Amino acid sequence: MGAGSPAPSKIYSASALPPVIDGSYPVDPETAAAVEAASRHQVGSFPNEETVDWVFRHFVSQGKTPLPDDIDGGDEKVLRSWFRDSNSLEDFRSGRDFQYGLCDVCDRDVERACQSVYQSFRRLIDHGEIRSGAHVRFRGTLIRFFEDVPLLDQQWIDAYTVVLAEWSALLLQHGYQLGNADPHQLACVIPLKTNGAELLTPSTSADRTEAARRRVTAMLAKFEGRARTIDGRIYFHFDDYVRWKGRKAQCKAHYDGFVIASWNDWVEARGNGATAELDGIRVAKIAVRVPALVRCADSQEAARQQCRRADLIIGIVTQAYNNDRQIARWCEHFKKTIIEIYRIIFTIERIRRRYFGDHPPADEMERGNYGCSD
């Protein structure tokens, strides 16, 4: 956390996106179960926004003064009143200090408090009170939510995620460009066109996707690494998967995290409901980030609802594109009009200087000020 780190900010659930885009995504039972498993074992890491927020609230509870959200756009005199001297104000403006949202606590003190919380947190992990965690980041998967997934016991990866990652890698290897107009984390990216710019029809894209899935399933059937069943789900040993000769997906493991659920259990057991104290600073549970979804009865029902959602989104995108084109035409017309207005102004000015020289403007003549005495 450097001196230029942003001040802690509130996270709102409201979104500016249309409800059809921002709402719950329909998924089949298999995907829903994979999301539930990944969320249950979700891994957090340091530094994180929660630590800064805990420290921020701690200082406020001690009587320190938070800066208003609109401080940058405030009146100069008001801006000066928030800081104890001109040097502090200049440090804030330049980004050298006071970047955590407190006008009377320097960044060094905030970061020192964050480091203290982190060290206490590490001691809890070392003593086994909180489970350490590891997670894997893939360069890409067919479903974006599964690009960052937990490693159970720091060594087991969900086979469902492996299928998605290998599926995506195989399509990319065959020269397809993947994408989806739907921004939802659970929306599946699909082949849109080849690297030769050949646009694919929806039916062709679906056929290519299904063919790649069948090939990946056949390849993974030959996986000879360690596998085990955990909570009814199949997991592969990550080291064996990395060494697997058939692997095409690019990924990297990170072993510096903690299991969020175990931290929340610790807070629940040692605190007052949702909060507890760590090194004299009140800490709280950490929310597990789970994308909104609707669990459909089967894959066919999920596919039908996804198609309806896709049709609506295509309509919205098309309308926005047409609106953008209309706005672009208006802007072009306005630009041409402005150019013509300036041309007229310049022409009038040239005529005035050529034929009237230094004669007074018309408004002065109308007032009777002709530049001569009676």
pLDDT digits (tens, 9 = 90+) for 254-287: 998 999 999 999 999 987 666 789 889 999 999 9
Give residue 155's domain range. Answer: 25-44+130-291
Where residue 154 falls among pLDDT bands split at 50, 70, 90?
very high
Tell me the pLDDT tens digit for each residue of 137-147: 999 888 999 99
Domain final position from 291, 320, 349: 291
Pair 226, 283 in one domain: yes
The answer to whether position 1 is within a domain reads no
Least confident of 10-19, 102-111, 266-275: 10-19
The answer to whether position 57 is within a domain reads no
The answer to whether position 168 is within a domain reads yes
Where residue 163 falls among pLDDT bands split at 50, 70, 90?
very high
Pair 267, 318 in one domain: no
Tell which residue, 357, 195, 265, has the closest CA to residue 40.
265
Pair 334, 278 in one domain: no
The answer to whether position 203 is within a domain reads yes
Pair 256, 347 in one domain: no
Please give the mean pLDDT across all residues of the chain.
81
> Quick check: pTM over 0.75?
no
Domain final position from 247, 263, 291: 291
Tell which residue, 248, 221, 246, has the closest CA to residue 166.
248
Pair 259, 304 in one domain: no
- Tokens 């929310």 locate to 287
The answer to whether position 54 is within a domain reads no
Pair 180, 309 in one domain: no
Pair 269, 322 in one domain: no
Pair 202, 169 in one domain: yes
Cβ within 8 Å of residue 22, ≥6 positions away:
15, 184
Pair 338, 250 in one domain: no
Pair 159, 229 in one domain: yes
- The count of other CB atoms within 10 Å of the CB of residue 36 is 15
